[in-house]
Amino acid sequence: MAGVKKPSPFRKTMRRAAWPALGLTLIAFFGAYAVLGRNGLLAYGDYQQQLAKRERYYATLDQKRTVLKNRVALLDPDHANPDMVDEMVRKELNVTHPDEVIVPLK
């Protein structure tokens, strides 16, 4: 048994510490990603801001939808509102009476 070398104490210690060190490294990596990552705890405030912004945008779209829904109801073929039909025809054909004044809304 003269040819078999006994491992040094340093090498033996490094082998024993390799798996725990790898485990701690993986835990540290995933822990840091959970806090600092794209979907981490620090991104929560940004998500709240985006949510508030999109809720405001949705509210404006909902208001526009209500206005359009009302206009569609006024143009129902069975009982169309004469004022609404007159307004749309004049707008599309660009026709006015000589005594009318046009006030642009935008």
Q: What is the mean pLDDT of residues 76-97?
A: 78
pLDDT in tens, 33-64: 988 888 888 888 888 899 999 999 999 999 99
Give the start-to-end residue ranges of the domains of the chain.
Answer: 9-38, 50-106
Query: Does the pLDDT value for residue 28 go beyond 90?
Result: yes
Considering the chain, what percentage of its residues have pLDDT values greater than 70?
96
Tell me how crowded residue 23 is: count the other CB atoms within 10 A of its CB: 10
CA dihedral for 14, 20, 26, 31, sign (positive or negative): negative
